[in-house]
Structure 1
Amino acid sequence: MTLWILASAERSKIIILPIRDKKKKPLFVGELILRDTDAGPRPHKFKVKDNGKGEFKPPSEFVELLRKTDRIMIARGGDEGQTASFVEMLQGFQMSADVVNACRFCLLKNRFNFLNRRSIRYHREKVCEDCGREELFNTLKSSHVNYSDEICERFEDIMLKTKDLDRTMAMISPDDIDPDLTRFDSIAANTSVPKGLIKDLPLHKGFKKILLAKSETLLPVQSLSVENGLLKGQNQLVTSVTATGKTLIAELAGIENILRKKGRLIYLVPLVALANQKYDQFTKRYSSLGIKTSIRVGSERIKTKKGASMKRTLDSDIIVGTYEGLDQILRTGNADLLGQIGTVVIDEVHTIEDSERGHRLDGVIARLKYVAAGAQFIYLSATVAKPQLRAKQLNAKLIEYEYRPVPIERHLILCPEHSKTKIMARLVREEFSTTSSKGHKGQTIIFTNSRRNCHRISEALPISASAYHAGLTSQERKKVEVAFVKGKLPVVVTTAALAAGVDFPASQVIFESLAMGIEWLTMQDFLQMLGRAGRPDYHDRGEVVVLAVPNKKYSGDKGDTEDAVALKLLKGEMQHTKVDYGDDEKMEEILASAAVTSSRNDLKMIHSYMLADYNVDMLLDKLARNKFLHKKGDLIALTRFGKIASGHFLSVSRAFLIRDSVLIDQEPIVTVSNLEFFDAVYYKYAARVSAALNVNLPSRVFQGASLDILFEGENMDKLDVTLRDQLLDFAGDFLTCSCRDSPYCGCAERKFSEKIISIRAEGYDPEGIVRKLEHLYGITAYPGDVLGYLDNVVRNLEAVELIASAYSKREIAYKARDLRKLVEG
């Protein structure tokens, strides 16, 4: 065992810390007072404190302690006079001491720790790691912010890495962002995979010429795909991050199969905006080869100027569509109209795991495998949790490329909510001031959690910025896309729900929010979105910035806070999701598959292609009992009722709802407004109302808190006359039901949905409907949302019309038909 003595000189005394075996906590704390004698300074009083109690000991005991010690140390930086006296005293006893760098903060707490290369800079001095941690955590606790444990650990990691507590603490209020501290990690680019030469590929001459005009070499993932049989008809699941060239893999197979007369290309995507983008790209790129492109998406029943300019026929070489847009052809028994299919491309195939749409993608893939048995299937995704398993399930060869084409840096900035706009303004300005070696200025995508926030943020930024979301019309979205691609628009602010799959060549991605609506982003969503940063044809590197508010929650008091979620997403890995869904969804897919075959055995074969497990016989029996189909031996056939349900994407429960409404002669407008509400409506003057009432009025009209605030007590009297009259008219038209739960019974939403349909029937287009709502009630909506709702209304009215005819309800059928034509325009 070793014994050290550490002396720390103060103005009137010397603190003595006996250290046993290099431990930080001393055996006791002593106080030594010296006095001058003829022989020099000598111990005068020696007080020992232990457990808060003090006891004076004979000075001789202190001298004896000094003689027993293995090492005597003096803390640097103590009182000079007392230190000199202590050294002189030691010399009088023929002893010596080492002057050491000891942590001053430890000494104040009667502890001992050396200062060394691991010590932390703090207020122009250094402290030991232990004291640095204590100061850090005390500051975090006193900041009135409930930082998550994960974020506290993040602060600690940064402090230990930088050895600078002051810089670390500056992150709490990041007015001056330090990129060295906010940087979470860096992902290097990879160039180790060989790149094949396009001139060596066995391609049609004209096709090869188009490709060579853009590049002489394939990107790595494209080379891997070709090496693994892409041009020999091999089915493939291609998983690689955004901007690595997956789309061209699909084109290499699809266009070459067209030119070799093997059949047309079906290219399916999850979003209308993405379908529009691919339609424009393919039309422009391949029309010189005599290849025709058409589009099939869901929103095509409402007549619009944009729709009139797009080719929608099925006699094209390339059919770009949404999953549901193409499935509509199969579900209505028109699979033969697709002709010979050479290639089927499923973009964003991870959508198959989506809880709402997954069953329909699973179904359309299986039905296409049946009607196009000889086609080559190419599945594309940037985010698949267990790609080997998924490739096996899809009967495809896995082409996996895990590296980015350009380096990317990911940053985490912790900030209060009110600082976000200021931080984003600085980031987007700095990014747009840079120019890559390819000659492109830096552009930014900002992801937020709501459409309203898209507009709020874009308007608040001191640089040209545009909102982009599904509520905009296709013309508005197209305008934004073109401006961004041309480099004329520095910033696009969009929702997580839409832009994950749309092709915006951004160098920087900022997460203003980590939620989609009020739900936290999934790992898959997060990776999809951050993958938009950095494109090899445009940029030298990509930047991802996550803005997280400590202690922020979007829903309720439970669950993680935004700062904790940020770290989980940055550190996390995707979780594999088993594909399965309920009986209602499974019966919908059985009906859809029965539209392409009359054989029970073939139907079983179709559902064996699906990822979910099916008890086909049990589901067929149930559908037969409910008059959706007939069975006879191996033969099955949809009833008239079943054909309507299949072709209109009706679940069994929705089909029953329509049938029951028809049988009681319910007005068609009531039936369709009961099937689906239009509630994406907002107070146009929410800010004015909030200021007048001194409350924070939620912007959504049918949010319970909004109705409580406006129509309670004397609140209406505080508003200006025009606004008050508009809101009273709204209440009179939609909030006058006698239900016990009014206004939370759903009647208001149903009546409002009827109003939307009625205004459309008067001849107003979606923009006109919005203007009329603003004039009548001081509320507003997005034209794209109105268009999408009306498109669904048309489909539902058509279902009402057909079901009414099937049950000999002619008057209801006529009313539904007439209203449908008015809504279609």
Structure 2
Amino acid sequence: MGCINVDSLPVDQRIKDILKNRGIQRLNPPQSEAVEKGLLEDKPLLIVSPTASGKTLMAELGMVSHLLNKGGKAVYVTPLRALTNEKYATFKDWEQLGLKVAMTSGDYDTDDYWLKDYDIIVATYEKLDSLWRHNSSWLKEVDYFVLDEFHYMNDTERGPVVESVAVRAKRRGIVLALSATIGNYDKVAKWLKADVVATNWRPVPLKEGVLYTSNKKKDFIVLYKDGSSKKVYGECPIVAYTLDTVSRDGQVLVFRSSRKYAESTAVKISQYMSLVKLDNKKLHEVAQKVKEVEDAGSNEKESLYNLILKGVAYHHAGLSKGLRDIIEGAFRERIIKVIVATPTLAAGVNLPARAVVIGDIHRFNRKVIGFTEYIPVMEYKQMSGRAGRPGFDEYGESVVIVRSKSEVEKITQKYLNSDVEPLESKLGSESAFYSFILSIISSEQGVTEKTLSSYVQDTLLPKELAKKYYKQAISWLMSNDFIGQKDDYLVLTRFGRRISDLYLNPFTAVTIKDALLKSEKGCEIAYFHLLAYTPDGPLVSVSKAEEDVILDELDCELFIEEPYDEFELSNYLSSLKVAFIMRDWIEEVDEDTILGRYGIGSGDLRAITDTMDWLTYSGYHVASVLGLEEHEKILEKLHLRVKDGVKEELIPLIRVSGIGRVRARLLYSHSIKTPEEILMNPEKVKQLLGPKLGEKIVREAARAIT
């Protein structure tokens, strides 16, 4: 079909003006098809089109035209906080039309009543699910749902909540689901009661290939899907192909299967970057920013500083947000030429490159020790889809590295010439399904079994399996005091209501409840270990050497007994390592020392402390609703200490906004120990913290007291 001119769109002129200010004069083919299929008339749609094909703009047009014509509220849902921030910044344009845009994520124990004044709300799937459980009155006005990155429904961990949100969204309003990769889109669209816009159109054509070693040691051949080929030369295939692209003014994303491989590959590539032209002045400026980041470890900063000077960086979840932001920004500005990343980057923020190198088509399966498996086709499509920068490249290239020519045909057929896996329900586990049932009962504030059964039938689970799990779920939730019956309705008990509001996995709640009910108060390690051992706890890897050390250092009795099962033991040891990390953290052990001692990154430490902050908060509320006062007091204090990592005497100071572990300890060491003492010694505070910051802290102390 043809491309629609912006001027001919049947929308408010102000919408056209905003599009033109962005440089958009015509809609591209998939955008035009979406309009033809009713995007501007509130028709439910499933849009499946490649990365950078303009799906976000389709969502904007759908939301804004609906709000201007019909009123109500629109929610744009994403699977990642980073995407939430990105979309929020994009949607701020529409405030020119008088629409108010807000963003919310995290903090699951709140109804976010303040959102009643906003028209477009950007949230994560988990946050929207949590808000429904809290039954905030403004949610009744939401009648337009954009479900972004909808293929996340295939993810074992995130999929259940994506499906749960989709089930309720299609019952409550108009659904616009977006994805780059869904194989069975006809079936999924029928399930969503939506029409389909499915296209392979890309703004920058993609050239896919497989790279293998020729008969000559330092010659490597790329055989493309279209039958063409080319040679690159160098010490190893990844380095050879990367340097070939960078030497032609391109940027490269290299994907490796592990953090260790990502870091070592980045170092290897950097050793050859003197062969290409770089903007050394700008690279030095970026590297200097890395050194000044506050939320990262010294070793990480030093490592990245040296790499960035050579135009290279690595990127994975172990890095702090501050470091990741700098690396992503410098890559977008074309200063950094190469990022070596783990596959999580492919599913995250928009970061296109001229070329993508997929260094590993196998990965370890953690559930089967010593076993590797092929990555899913969907994961390949997500990574290769990053190739090609609109406005810079005539075409993008993606290459898969294989060991020998004998693998080329097999990998070509498996990845380059096949469709992605079908989207299937991930509610087929007790944990996921029971959480879904609890969520529905909570958000509907009492439902009959018939109504609840209709929600279950609305999932993508096979009907017989859904019936089986439904009966099990009702029985289990009743026997564990989450739900009860009142007349013909299923209702939450006091315990069930609190667990639902806290957004806890029901199995986490039962694990905590059972342990606390049968035990006297324990040591700090015991509480941290219990919380980390639950299904909601953070996971860390434990080497054999670490296993011996942490078991030797354990000097108190735990709530959980050491299991005999190999996989349960692995979880037990992971939880124990988390407990030791958290004890060091709240004892104010230096961050660099913690990172080095436990072999984790600053991003890992942030993720662990964030999760344990939520779990200690949840733990003390579980103890409270059970009337276990001793456990409640201990868990509340641990919660207050976890967020900033402080000893107990600093709790009063960290209640002041802007004061963390370092500033609190500085003030305390100079005999300023409470918010009141901050107010009584303003000049001393300014002297210790600097005039501007000191003045701000004094103001915040006044707020903390009132």
Q: Which residue of 1 aligns with 2:360?
A: 513
1:415–1:547 Cα contact (<8 Å) kept: no
Aligned to 1:402, the other structure's residue is in SS state coil
2:354–2:387 Cα contact (<8 Å) kept: yes
1:239–1:401 Cα contact (<8 Å) kept: yes
Alignment partners' CA distance in 2, 1:264 and 1:474: 31
Q: Which residue of 2 aligns with 1:568?
A: 414
Alignment partners' CA distance in 2, 1:406 and 1:785: 35
Q: Aligned in 2, Cα 1:413/1:274: closer, same or farther, shift over 3 Å?
A: same
What is the correspondence of 1:425-444 to structure 2 with a 5 Å cutoff? 425-434=239-248, 441-444=249-252
Q: Which residue of 2 aligns with 1:644?
A: 498
How far does residue 322 in structure 1 lie from its aligned partner after superposition? 1.9
What is the alpha-carbon root mean square deviation over aligned residues? 3.4
1:293–1:317 Cα contact (<8 Å) kept: yes
Q: Which residue of 2 aligns with 1:669?
A: 528
Q: Aligned in 2, Cα 1:315/1:756: closer, same or farther, shift over 3 Å?
A: farther
Equivalent of 2:620, from 801, 806, 812? 801
2:513–2:623 Cα contact (<8 Å) kept: yes
Q: Which residue of 2 aligns with 1:810?
A: 629
Indicate yes or no: 2:543 matched with 1:703: yes
Indicate yes or no: 2:344 matched with 1:504: no
Alignment partners' CA distance in 2, 1:335 and 1:492: 43
2:29–2:201 Cα contact (<8 Å) kept: no
2:167–2:458 Cα contact (<8 Å) kept: yes
Equivalent of 1:392, from 161, 186, 190? 190
For residues 600-631 of structure 1, the C-alpha deviation after alignment (integer angstroms, 9 at most, x for no partner) is: 24433433332224334553244223311111
Indicate yes or no: 2:600 matched with 1:781: yes
Q: Which residue of 2 aligns with 1:414?
A: 212
What letter is aligned with 2:422?
A: H
Indicate yes or no: 2:546 matched with 1:733: no
| Larger proportion of strand | 1
Aligned to 2:356, the other structure's residue is in SS state strand
How far does residue 236 in structure 1 lie from its aligned partner after superposition? 0.2
Q: Which residue of 2 aligns with 1:202?
A: 10
Q: Which residue of 1 aligns with 2:125?
A: 323
1:258–1:342 Cα contact (<8 Å) kept: no
Alignment partners' CA distance in 1, 2:55 and 2:421: 23
Equivalent of 1:343, from 144, 148, 152? 144
Aligned to 2:399, the other structure's residue is in SS state strand
Q: Which residue of 2 aligns with 1:590?
A: 437
1:196–1:218 Cα contact (<8 Å) kept: yes
What is the correspondence of 1:169-184 to structure 2 with a 5 Å cutoff? none
1:412–1:545 Cα contact (<8 Å) kept: yes
Alignment partners' CA distance in 1, 2:319 and 2:116: 27
Q: Which residue of 1 aligns with 2:325?
A: 478
For residues 720-775 of structure 1, the C-alpha deviation after alignment (integer angstroms, 9 at most, x for no partner) is: xxxxxxxx7x77536999979899666653332122222332457xxx53x12256
How far does residue 296 in structure 1 lie from its aligned partner after superposition? 2.6
What letter is aligned with 1:750?
A: S
Q: Aligned in 2, Cα 1:282/1:481: closer, same or farther, shift over 3 Å?
A: farther
Alignment partners' CA distance in 2, 1:286 and 1:468: 32
How far does residue 195 in structure 1 lie from its aligned partner after superposition? 0.3
Alignment partners' CA distance in 2, 1:442 and 1:563: 28
Alignment partners' CA distance in 2, 1:313 and 1:451: 39
For structure 2, the 5+ residue unaligned runs are 221-233, 274-310, 366-372, 645-706
Aligned to 2:126, the other structure's residue is in SS state helix
1:509–1:543 Cα contact (<8 Å) kept: yes
Q: Aligned in 2, Cα 1:229/1:483: closer, same or farther, shift over 3 Å?
A: same
Equivalent of 1:608, from 453, 457, 469? 457
Q: Aligned in 2, Cα 1:741/1:273: closer, same or farther, shift over 3 Å?
A: same
For residues 539-591 of structure 1, the C-alpha deviation after alignment (integer angstroms, 9 at most, x for no partner) is: 21010111112499xxxxxxxx8995565223333232542512332111000
For residues 683-710 of structure 1, the C-alpha deviation after alignment (integer angstroms, 9 at most, x for no partner) is: xxxxxxxxxxxxxxxxx6x234x669xx
Aligned to 1:427, the other structure's residue is in SS state helix
| Larger proportion of helix | 2
Alignment partners' CA distance in 2, 1:217 and 1:741: 64
How far does residue 233 in structure 1 lie from its aligned partner after superposition? 0.4
Q: Which residue of 2 aligns with 1:539?
A: 393
Alignment partners' CA distance in 2, 1:652 and 1:634: 23
1:345–1:378 Cα contact (<8 Å) kept: yes
How far does residue 387 in structure 1 lie from its aligned partner after superposition? 1.0
Indicate yes or no: 2:72 matched with 1:232: no
Q: Aligned in 2, Cα 1:345/1:640: closer, same or farther, shift over 3 Å?
A: same
What is the correspondence of 1:79-158 to structure 2 with a 5 Å cutoff? none
Q: Aligned in 2, Cα 1:678/1:397: closer, same or farther, shift over 3 Å?
A: closer
For residues 651-682 of structure 1, the C-alpha deviation after alignment (integer angstroms, 9 at most, x for no partner) is: 333221111111023543342133266553xx
Q: Aligned in 2, Cα 1:739/1:620: closer, same or farther, shift over 3 Å?
A: closer
Using the size of structure 1 for normalisation, the TM-score is 0.62
Aligned to 2:443, the other structure's residue is in SS state coil
Q: Aligned in 2, Cα 1:639/1:502: closer, same or farther, shift over 3 Å?
A: same
Alignment partners' CA distance in 1, 2:104 and 2:380: 29
Aligned to 2:10, the other structure's residue is in SS state coil
Q: Aligned in 2, Cα 1:450/1:517: closer, same or farther, shift over 3 Å?
A: farther
Equivalent of 1:367, from 168, 175, 200? 168
2:132–2:139 Cα contact (<8 Å) kept: no
How far does residue 784 in structure 1 lie from its aligned partner after superposition? 1.8
Alignment partners' CA distance in 1, 2:326 and 2:117: 29
Indicate yes or no: 2:382 matched with 1:528: yes
For residues 280-312 of structure 1, the C-alpha deviation after alignment (integer angstroms, 9 at most, x for no partner) is: 3333x33444444333334899xxxxxxxxx99
Alignment partners' CA distance in 2, 1:511 and 1:260: 46
Q: Aligned in 2, Cα 1:312/1:533: closer, same or farther, shift over 3 Å?
A: farther
What letter is aligned with 2:624?
A: S
Aligned to 1:650, the other structure's residue is in SS state coil
What letter is aligned with 1:599?
A: V
Q: Aligned in 2, Cα 1:356/1:211: closer, same or farther, shift over 3 Å?
A: same
Aligned to 1:790, the other structure's residue is in SS state helix
For residues 23-68 of structure 1, the C-alpha deviation after alignment (integer angstroms, 9 at most, x for no partner) is: xxxxxxxxxxxxxxxxxxxxxxxxxxxxxxxxxxxxxxxxxxxxxx
Q: Which residue of 2 aligns with 1:491?
A: 338
**Equivalent residues, number:** 560
For residues 360-405 of structure 1, the C-alpha deviation after alignment (integer angstroms, 9 at most, x for no partner) is: 11112223344xx2x3211011111111111001111111113333
Equivalent of 1:280, from 64, 89, 94? 89
Equivalent of 1:446, from 254, 279, 282? 254
Aligned to 1:266, the other structure's residue is in SS state strand
How far does residue 805 in structure 1 lie from its aligned partner after superposition? 1.6
